[in-house]
Structure 1
Amino acid sequence: MASILLKGGVVIDTDPSPTVLGVSDVLVQDGLIAAVGPDLPGGPGTEVIDASGTFVLPGFVDTHRHTWQAGLRAILPDSTLPVYLEQILYGIAPRFDPRDVHAGVLSGALECLDTGITTLLDWSHIQLTPAHTDANVEALKASGIRSVFGYAYGGRDSLDAMAAEARRVHREHFADDPRSMAIAAFGPEISAERGTAEWRLARELDLPVTAHMGGHGSESAEQGLAILEREGLLSHPATYVHANFYTDDAFKRIAANGGSVSVTPTSETMLNIGYPPTGRARAAGIPTSLSVDTVTTGPGDMFSVMRAAYMFERVRPDEAGMGFTTRDVLRMATIEGAETLGLADITGSLRPGKQADLIMLRADTLGMASAHDPIAAVVLSADTSSVDTVLVGGRIVKRAGRLLHHDLPAVLAAIAESAARVAQ
């Protein structure tokens, strides 16, 4: 892989906390970050990209998105979680065939790249048949995004059938890349029997768990956590999505067992799931990340999510969130997201040796010009139009505002055709 030198941008690193390094260069060799600093030499054959007039930083990490729903954008505004479950999961989802899954996942993953998200946990609960699953995985890999496939079994057969199919998916698609798969668990709040089976399966396959837990009310949140504790499963690596109703004590128990949290501030408020637990989770020492969740109800970009997280935390009662800063929210969108997914040694910051997952945001536009604090400008002023260039593993996937490597008219035609069919 050719060397690339991003030259002369204002560089922002994120680990251990977001810091503006000033005008610097980023050297990429063999897909990895080789060096960060001023006036770096490129060497023979190095491609030099002029980064002047941009902010250069790690790509965003989305730790929970139902990517297959890309063709259902804005279908359910002004709604609630019960309506979402009834109309999307129980109504429209059964109409999806593998072609629809492929179209939605490919379009959704490319949307991520287009908006600066370079790492994605695809929380996929559209696995109605093995063909659905294979189409989903194929689309993720074809997109070029760094992904973790959150496998949620969709069949209605026995728990033994669930385990057998998960083993097949792991064996056929992820045996050589185990950190690219997780078990997306429905239980134990929804079903204690299935939930504990999912956790044990994850332990067997040495995969992390990502689960919607803590968002169904205080009593349900405590009961689900108690089940995991009773069964000796709480110590298994897990991300708790929509952890809105956990008490501070519950967060301490999650932290003590190495858990993480994914906050979806747009859907959690728009679907009336609950108030985002951002500050409370982080106060317990839990890696706390950001995610889009679904475009059926809200926006699909990290800029919108960062702003929502920042604003909801800052207006907590009794000024409890006033210590939350733009640096905190950028950390959540980058290295803390990587920590949540167990990928902090791979991505999320500019440490030499990590994968070169990088974005360049235009800072020379009317909406970004003369920014006194680049980090605040990224969080509060930038938007999807700011994303100029995107690299994943040192591969340029977007340049000068245009996605590369895909026939976008064909992608858009496929998602439009699918959307018209499944939502009729």
Structure 2
Amino acid sequence: MSESGRPVVLRGGLVLTMDDAHTVLPEGDVLVVGDRIAEVGSRLEVPEGTEEIDARGGIVMPGMIDTHRHMWQTAMRGYGADWTLTQYFVWYYLESGKHFRPQDIRAGNLLAALEAIDAGVTTCVDWSHGLQTPLHAEAAVDALRSVPGRFVLAYGNIQQAPWEWATSPDFTAFAKRIIEARDDMLGFQMAFDVTGDPEFPERAAYEVARELGVAVTTHAGVWGATNDDGIRLAHEAGFLNESSIFVHAATLSPDSYHRIAASGGSVSVSTESEQSAGQGYPPTWALRNYGIPVSLSMDTSVWWSGDLFSAMRSTLGADRSREHLEAHARGETITAHKLRAEHVVDWATRGGAKALGRDHELGSLERGKKADIVLLRNDDSPVSFPILHPYGHVALQAQRGDVHTVLVNGRIVKRDGRLVGADLADARALVAETVEYLRSTLGDEAWIKGMHPDVPETSILDNPYQYTDYGTAATHGG
């Protein structure tokens, strides 16, 4: 709806519905009444007083869905550009992550939330593993509630064992309060990793999640951190199901992929992260073979971009590179790609909706579904035409600067390339305060050195989780 509450129609755009048939309308209209899509078609008749948005020459598509983003780290955008995963662990898990105050969590979340809707990401899972206290969690929620996007708070705390924080009265009280108050715009998950310890202490956290009726999202198949044992333990205990989201899943055995597929779980692939930090080769080439559902995510802006155009582009590149490489090793030539642009656009929209259990109302442009809609149109860019292959244009040509209009829950939150009602000056000031606080706390020398931190002599390669002494060399061929 427009600012006045009137219906809105996007007129004459190339409409990628992402429905079951992947229907494409070369010159289509999408009518929004209230928070729902009232009709999708051509030359629609609309109610009197409907606001019209000219979508001619542009692409109308569902809002994109990111299923794994550490939003609290966005206040440090680009700081870790040269990090390996081990250096990330050193900085956040071992040394400096504990310095984040509630207001720093809020600053990062606020900036990340604005960044998301600006790039056409209308739903984002805040994989919030910096919540050291309930006050940190309240600050995270406050930021998410202040931005007109759709978010899921995935509660985590890397400074404490999940079987401790998840069973604490403070967490239980907070979780129940959020669950009781949750609505269309804010969901809730639990976020923790499973080390593979045969004692399976994470069982207690899974039991809390089951009691609360919330999904668990976990980093799995991460070289040097999590492996097949964690998935086996959770599966044998009966905790895996269709709501389970496994992030990365890049260094797993066929047995683990079979367990994920059999339980109905899905994988959130962060290709830019996996191919740069070292979790393992981006796994879509393997996931396709096992029929495991895929969604896309950006991981963290402390390294990479915060848009899913980059995710689609890098995912196509990584999957095709693997396909060619393996064919060359066999003395063969790939003559037709298995992974197409259409597939990654689906993963960026419908795939995310399925992973979150909201495919019935998000992820596609269909009558009756929630009006989360993105218009890509940039008349000032020579890259905006011609549009010959619409899925290819979205995956390989478009970028955040082409996001012209965004609607979330029927509300226009970006118009003519500018966020509506966003106080960027306030967000900038809050982030500047966090950066100054962290820099002064660490000291200038440590702050600069942190961009290329030394790796201490520690068990970090086998266990970045300092709340447990358990370690394994399984990921290193031991």
Question: What TM-score do you get using the length of structure 1 for normalisation?
Answer: 0.94
Report whether the alignment pairs 1:98 with 2:102. yes
Q: Structure 2: any 5+ residue segments left out of the alignment?
A: 328-333, 441-478
CA distance in 1, matches of 2:261, 2:153: 24
Tell me the alpha carbon deviations over residues 215-251 of structure 1, each in whole angstroms, 9 at most, x when there is no partner. Answer: 1359x52211221133222336310001001223321
Q: 1:270 aligns with which of 262, 272, 276?
A: 276
Counterpart in the other structure of 1:403: 419
Equivalent position of 1:53 in the other structure: 57
Structure-2 change in CA distance of 1:43 and 1:191 (3 Å) = farther
Q: Which of the residues 200, 210, 216 maps onto 1:209?
A: 216
Moved more, 368-377 or 159-168: 159-168
Deviations 1:255-306 (A, max 9, x none): 1101110000011111111100113113322210110001111111111111
The structure having more radius of gyration, on CA atoms, is 2
SS of match in other structure, 1:261: strand
Aligned-partner SS, 2:59: strand
Number of the residue aligned with 2:435: 419
For structure 1, the residue ranges without an aligned partner over 5 or more in a row are none
**Aligned position for 2:456:** none
Q: Taking structure 1 as reference, are residues 401 and 16 closer, same or farther at Cα in structure 2, changes over 3 Å only?
A: same
Equivalent positions of 1:16-415 (< 5 A) are 16=20, 18-153=22-157, 156=160, 159=163, 162-163=166-167, 164-177=169-182, 180-189=187-196, 193-216=200-223, 220-235=226-241, 237-316=243-322, 317-319=325-327, 322-362=337-377, 364=379, 365-415=381-431
- Structure 1 residue 132 displacement after superposition: 0.5
1:128 Cα offset (Å):
1.0
Do the aligned residues in 1 keep the contact of 2:251 with 2:279 (CA within 8 Å)?
no
Q: Deviations over 1:29-59 (max 9, x none)?
A: 1210111001111212322111122110001
Corresponding residue of 2:463: none
For structure 1, which segment, 237-246 or 168-177, has the greater mean C-alpha deviation from structure 2 after superposition? 168-177
Larger mean Cα displacement after TM superposition, 52-61 or 240-249: 240-249
Q: Secondary structure at the match of 2:156?
A: strand
Q: In 1, are the aligned partners of 2:309 and 2:400 still within 8 Å (CA)?
A: yes
What is the root-mean-square deviation in Å for CA atoms of aligned residues? 2.0
Query: Once the 2 structures are TM-superposed, how far is the Cα of residue 95 of structure 1 from its aligned partner?
Result: 1.5
Q: Among residues 9, 22, 26, which one is paired with 2:13 in the alignment?
A: 9
Write the distance in 2 (CA, Å) between the matches of 1:158 and 1:111.
29
Identify if the C-alpha distance between structure 1 residues 94 and 115 changes in structure 2 by more than 3 Å, giving closer, same or farther.
same
Alpha-carbon offset, residue 123 of structure 1: 0.2
Alpha-carbon offset, residue 160 of structure 1: 5.6
Q: Could you tell me whether the CA contact under 8 Å between 1:106 and 1:140 is conserved in 2?
A: yes
Shift of 1:100: 0.9
- Percentage identity across paired residues of the two chains: 37
For residues 385 and 296 of structure 1, the distance between their equivalents in structure 2, rounded to whole angstroms, comes to 20
- AA aligned opposite 1:98: P
Of residues 122-131 and 156-165 in structure 1, the stretch that sits farther from structure 2 once superposed is 156-165
Q: 1:360 to 1:196 in 2, by over 3 A?
A: same
Q: Match of 2:382, SS?
A: coil
Change (3 A) 1:411 1:228: same
1:82-120 Cα offsets, whole Å, 9 max, x none, are 110111333332111111111110110100000110000
Q: Is the 8 A contact 1:155 1:162 kept in 2?
A: no
Choose 395-404 or 160-169, whichever is displaced more: 160-169
d(CA) in 2 for partners of 1:265, 1:195: 27
Q: Supply the distance in 2 between the matched residues of 1:409 and 1:190 (Cα, whole angstroms).
A: 47
Contact 2:223 2:278 in 1 (8 A): no
What TM-score do you get using the length of structure 2 for normalisation?
Answer: 0.84
Counterparts in 2 of 1:17 and 1:144: CA distance versus 1, 3 Å: same
Cα contact 1:208–1:236 (8 A) shared by 2: no
8 Å CA contact 2:157–2:165 kept in 1: the answer is: no
Would you say the 8 A contact 1:11–1:25 is kept in 2?
yes
The separation in 2 between residues aligned to 1:248 and 1:79, in whole angstroms, is: 30
For 1:267, the aligned partner's letter is: S
TM-aligned CA deviation for residue 191 of structure 1? 8.7
How far apart in 2 are the matches of 1:36 and 1:158? 45
- Alignment check: 8 A CA contact 1:192 1:227 kept: no
Answer yes or no: is the 8 Å Cα contact 2:267–2:293 preserved in 1: yes
AA paired with 2:318? F
Check 1:158–1:124 CA distance in 2 against 1; reply closer, same or farther (3 A cut): closer
Segment drifting more, 306-315 vs 341-350: 341-350
Q: Which moved more, 1:28-37 or 1:72-81?
A: 72-81
AA of the residue aligned to 1:323: K
Report the residue type matching 2:377 in the other structure: R
SS, match of residue 128 in structure 1: coil
* Alignment length (residue pairs): 423
> What is the DSSP-based 3-state SS (H/G/I as helix, E as strand, rest coil) of the residue aligned with 2:10?
strand
Q: Deviations over 1:353-397 (max 9, x none)?
A: 111000000154301211211111111000111001101000110
Evaluate the alpha carbon distance shift between residue 260 and residue 417 of structure 1 in structure 2; reply closer, same or farther with a 3 A threshold: same
